[in-house]
Amino acid sequence: MRLWSVHPRYFDRQALTAAWREGLLAQSVIAEPGRGYSNHPQLARFRETAEPLRAIGTFLSGLVDEADARGYRFDRSKIREAKMGERMLVSDGQLAYEWSHLLAKLQRRTPELWERWCDEAMPEPHPLFTVVPGPIASWERPSS
Protein backbone atom coordinates (compact mmCIF):
# COMPACT_ATOMS: atom_id res chain seq x y z
CA MET A 1 0.00 0.00 0.00
CA ARG A 2 1.34 3.44 -0.92
CA LEU A 3 -0.55 6.49 0.31
CA TRP A 4 1.50 9.12 -1.48
CA SER A 5 2.40 12.50 0.00
CA VAL A 6 3.20 13.66 -3.54
CA HIS A 7 0.57 15.71 -5.36
CA PRO A 8 -1.46 13.42 -7.65
CA ARG A 9 -0.84 15.71 -10.66
CA TYR A 10 2.50 13.88 -11.04
CA PHE A 11 0.92 10.42 -11.21
CA ASP A 12 0.47 8.33 -14.29
CA ARG A 13 -2.84 6.54 -14.76
CA GLN A 14 -1.61 3.47 -12.92
CA ALA A 15 -0.45 5.41 -9.85
CA LEU A 16 -3.65 7.44 -9.69
CA THR A 17 -5.95 4.43 -9.90
CA ALA A 18 -3.79 2.41 -7.48
CA ALA A 19 -3.75 5.29 -4.97
CA TRP A 20 -7.55 5.49 -5.23
CA ARG A 21 -8.01 1.75 -4.60
CA GLU A 22 -5.46 1.70 -1.79
CA GLY A 23 -6.94 4.85 -0.25
CA LEU A 24 -10.39 3.24 -0.24
CA LEU A 25 -8.91 0.16 1.43
CA ALA A 26 -7.20 2.39 4.01
CA GLN A 27 -10.51 4.17 4.64
CA SER A 28 -12.22 0.82 5.31
CA VAL A 29 -9.46 -0.27 7.69
CA ILE A 30 -9.59 3.06 9.57
CA ALA A 31 -13.40 2.97 9.77
CA GLU A 32 -13.48 -0.67 10.87
CA PRO A 33 -10.30 -1.53 12.83
CA GLY A 34 -9.24 -5.13 12.63
CA ARG A 35 -10.02 -5.45 8.93
CA GLY A 36 -7.44 -6.19 6.27
CA TYR A 37 -4.15 -4.36 6.61
CA SER A 38 -5.03 -2.76 9.95
CA ASN A 39 -1.39 -2.68 11.07
CA HIS A 40 0.00 -1.31 7.82
CA PRO A 41 2.68 1.29 8.67
CA GLN A 42 1.36 3.86 6.18
CA LEU A 43 -1.87 4.14 8.17
CA ALA A 44 0.00 5.44 11.23
CA ARG A 45 0.07 9.08 10.16
CA PHE A 46 -3.67 9.10 9.47
CA ARG A 47 -4.44 7.45 12.80
CA GLU A 48 -2.31 10.04 14.61
CA THR A 49 -4.66 12.84 13.57
CA ALA A 50 -7.63 13.95 15.67
CA GLU A 51 -9.97 12.77 12.88
CA PRO A 52 -8.45 9.79 11.03
CA LEU A 53 -11.52 9.11 8.89
CA ARG A 54 -11.69 12.75 7.78
CA ALA A 55 -7.93 12.70 7.11
CA ILE A 56 -8.12 9.70 4.76
CA GLY A 57 -11.29 11.14 3.21
CA THR A 58 -9.49 14.41 2.49
CA PHE A 59 -6.64 12.39 0.97
CA LEU A 60 -9.15 10.58 -1.27
CA SER A 61 -10.80 13.90 -2.21
CA GLY A 62 -7.47 15.11 -3.61
CA LEU A 63 -7.29 12.01 -5.78
CA VAL A 64 -10.86 12.45 -7.02
CA ASP A 65 -10.16 16.09 -7.86
CA GLU A 66 -7.21 15.03 -10.01
CA ALA A 67 -9.24 12.23 -11.61
CA ASP A 68 -12.00 14.75 -12.44
CA ALA A 69 -9.44 17.09 -14.01
CA ARG A 70 -8.31 14.22 -16.28
CA GLY A 71 -11.81 13.17 -17.23
CA TYR A 72 -11.73 9.94 -15.20
CA ARG A 73 -14.77 8.84 -13.24
CA PHE A 74 -13.93 7.99 -9.64
CA ASP A 75 -17.00 7.63 -7.44
CA ARG A 76 -16.78 10.50 -4.93
CA SER A 77 -19.71 9.00 -2.99
CA LYS A 78 -17.33 6.28 -1.73
CA ILE A 79 -15.60 8.85 0.47
CA ARG A 80 -17.16 8.48 3.92
CA GLU A 81 -16.01 11.79 5.42
CA ALA A 82 -13.80 14.61 4.16
CA LYS A 83 -13.00 18.27 4.69
CA MET A 84 -10.49 17.94 7.49
CA GLY A 85 -9.96 21.34 9.08
CA GLU A 86 -6.20 21.04 9.46
CA ARG A 87 -3.47 19.95 7.12
CA MET A 88 -1.19 17.07 7.97
CA LEU A 89 2.57 17.47 8.08
CA VAL A 90 5.02 15.63 5.84
CA SER A 91 8.77 16.00 6.11
CA ASP A 92 10.81 17.12 3.15
CA GLY A 93 12.84 13.91 3.60
CA GLN A 94 9.71 11.80 3.25
CA LEU A 95 8.52 13.77 0.25
CA ALA A 96 11.95 13.43 -1.42
CA TYR A 97 11.96 9.68 -0.73
CA GLU A 98 8.51 9.25 -2.26
CA TRP A 99 9.46 11.46 -5.22
CA SER A 100 12.44 9.24 -5.99
CA HIS A 101 10.22 6.16 -5.69
CA LEU A 102 7.56 7.64 -8.00
CA LEU A 103 10.11 8.79 -10.59
CA ALA A 104 11.53 5.26 -10.76
CA LYS A 105 8.04 3.89 -11.41
CA LEU A 106 7.35 6.53 -14.06
CA GLN A 107 10.66 5.83 -15.80
CA ARG A 108 9.67 2.16 -16.19
CA ARG A 109 5.96 2.54 -16.92
CA THR A 110 5.40 5.95 -18.46
CA PRO A 111 8.66 7.37 -19.85
CA GLU A 112 6.97 10.47 -21.30
CA LEU A 113 5.79 11.50 -17.82
CA TRP A 114 9.19 10.68 -16.37
CA GLU A 115 10.73 12.96 -19.00
CA ARG A 116 8.30 15.72 -18.03
CA TRP A 117 9.03 15.52 -14.30
CA CYS A 118 12.59 14.14 -13.97
CA ASP A 119 14.21 17.58 -13.61
CA GLU A 120 11.80 18.62 -10.85
CA ALA A 121 13.92 18.76 -7.68
CA MET A 122 11.01 18.47 -5.26
CA PRO A 123 7.34 17.98 -6.09
CA GLU A 124 4.41 19.77 -4.56
CA PRO A 125 2.74 17.75 -1.83
CA HIS A 126 -0.77 16.35 -1.95
CA PRO A 127 -3.15 19.19 -0.92
CA LEU A 128 -3.67 17.50 2.46
CA PHE A 129 -0.02 18.03 3.45
CA THR A 130 2.22 20.87 4.56
CA VAL A 131 5.95 20.26 4.12
CA VAL A 132 8.27 20.69 7.11
CA PRO A 133 12.00 19.96 7.45
CA GLY A 134 12.82 16.44 8.53
CA PRO A 135 13.93 12.91 7.66
CA ILE A 136 12.06 9.99 6.12
CA ALA A 137 9.09 9.06 8.31
CA SER A 138 9.64 6.46 11.03
CA TRP A 139 6.83 4.30 9.59
CA GLU A 140 8.44 4.16 6.14
CA ARG A 141 10.13 0.93 5.06
CA PRO A 142 12.89 2.15 2.72
CA SER A 143 14.03 -0.29 0.08
CA SER A 144 17.72 -0.63 -0.55
Burial of 62 (0-12, 13-18, 19+ CB in 10 A): buried
Locate the domains of the chain by residue range: 8-132
- Fill in the amino acid letter for 42: Q
Residues 6+ apart with CB under 8 A from 112: none
pLDDT string in tens for the chain (144-residue length): 689 999 999 999 999 999 999 999 999 999 987 766 777 888 889 999 999 999 999 999 999 999 999 999 999 999 998 887 789 999 999 999 999 999 999 999 999 999 999 999 999 999 999 999 999 998 888 875
- Least Cα distance to 8 among 63, 58, 76, 71 occurs for 63
* pLDDT confidence of residue 65: 97
Residue 122 has a CB neighbour count (10 Å cut-off) of: 11
